[in-house]
């Protein structure tokens, strides 16, 4: 999608979603609606609706944020170095709309990818499988 003006996002998103998605914020752990969701379905970008993560890849990380060991398609996300707050992290961004989703860590399940996509619940919309 073309780059949308911040006014568009301000109208479309809740203040908390705007802070996270557009200003690279982080929601408090265990505060979101989806970290403990175990239903089958698809997790989409809360800003633009792009498909990001399948419930097949979700696991309980104990961190209080929805955690996945793989995106549904590597083409749908951008991974970018993030050295803010004195930490070296990898930021996860929605490729379609450029919104901040969360961070990628390498302490995920060893039996699968070993990766942990740590994603803000409010950055996601969940579509249950029909």
Q: Decide if residue 94 touches Fe ion (CB under 5 A).
A: yes
Q: Which is nearer to Fe ion, 1 or 36 (CB)?
A: 1
CB of 82 to Fe ion, least distance (A): 18
Those residues with Cβ within 8 angstroms of residue 91's Cβ, 6 or more apart along the chain or in another chain: 24, 79, 80, 81, 82, 100, 102, 103, 104
Catalytic residue among 48, 94, 97, 118: 118
CB of 86 to Fe ion, least distance (A): 28
Tell me the DSSP string of 26-78: -PPTT-SSSTT---SEEEEETTT--EEEEGGGEE--SSSS-EESS-S-GGGEE
Whether the CB-CB separation of 71 and 53 falls below 8 Å is answered with yes
Q: Decide if residue 47 touches Fe ion (CB under 5 A).
A: yes
Binding mask of the shown chain, residues 52 to 91, with x at each position contacting Fe ion by CB under 5 A? ----------------------------------------
Q: Decide if residue 45 touches Fe ion (CB under 5 A).
A: yes
Distance CA 24, CA 62 (A): 22
Whether the CB-CB separation of 79 and 104 falls below 8 Å is answered with yes
118 among known catalytic residues? yes
CB of 105 to Fe ion, least distance (A): 21
Residues labelled catalytic: 118
Binding site for Fe ion (CB under 5 A): 45, 47-48, 50, 94, 96-97, 99
């Amino acid at each position: 999608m073309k780059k949308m003006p911040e006014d568009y996002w301000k109208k479309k998103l809740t203040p908390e979603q705007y802070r996270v998605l557009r200003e690279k914020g982080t929601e408090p752990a265990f505060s979101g609606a989806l970290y403990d969701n175990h239903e089958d379905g698809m997790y989409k970008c809360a800003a633009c609706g792009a498909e990001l993560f399948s419930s097949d890849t979700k696991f309980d990380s104990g961190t209080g944020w929805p955690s996945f060991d793989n995106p549904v398609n590597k083409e749908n996300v951008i991974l970018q170095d993030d050295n803010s707050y004195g930490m070296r992290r990898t930021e996860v961004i929605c490729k379609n709309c450029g919104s901040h989703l969360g961070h990628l860590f390498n302490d995920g399940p060893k039996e699968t990818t070993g990766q942990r996509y740590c994603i803000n619940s409010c950055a996601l919309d969940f579509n249950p499988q029909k």
